[in-house]
Amino acid sequence: MEMQDTGTPRKVLGQVKWFDPTKGFGFVISEEGGPDILLHANVLRNFGQGSVVDGSEITIMVQDTQRGLQATEVLSITPPASEEALPLRDMVEFTAEDIANRPIEPARVKWFDKGKGFGFANVFGKNEDVFVHVEVLRRSGLSDLQSGEAVGLRMVDGERGRMAIQVIGWEAVAK
């Protein structure tokens, strides 16, 4: 059955209520109120991310459809500020500017376990594992990573080896 669009696209500022990369969708709450807005994984991937952390501020284009409000494009995502998050010891001395000045290296996720709170990735052409902490993902605006997913990493040498200090969806890096 073909879905008909019943309204003109409009820009909405809201907050990610929840997003489940396994299910392939989630919902956004508009700051203006109203019904929840469907955020499909394909729309998020077009922005360059495979997931988004709950509570992120998000600017999207939405369209009224026969099935309700749906996001058609993601314009921006700002991860939630978290006062209660403990700083990672290896990242304490890095400012946002220091992180942004580090090169982005292409990598592939080896594995990531959200329940354990960490995982590993490999930089293309290198055998070493790069540690990826769930807090780094959250600060990067992501909620999860899939094995085999291509990402861009900014890294530091930590107490126990290489670790990511920022993770960027590969499609966003390639833009």
Q: Whole-model pTM above 0.85?
A: no
Tokens standing for 10? 């409009």
CATH fold for the domain made of 10-78:
OB fold (Dihydrolipoamide Acetyltransferase, E2P) (2.40.50)
Predicted local confidence at residue 3, as pLDDT: 46
CATH fold for the domain made of 89-174:
OB fold (Dihydrolipoamide Acetyltransferase, E2P) (2.40.50)
Q: Which residues of the chain have pLDDT under 50?
A: 1-4, 83-87
Rounded to an integer, what distance in angstroms lies between the CA atom of residue 19 and that of residue 6? 25
- Domain boundaries, given as residue ranges, for the chain: 10-78, 89-174
- State in Å, rounded, how far the first CA of the chain is from the last one: 34
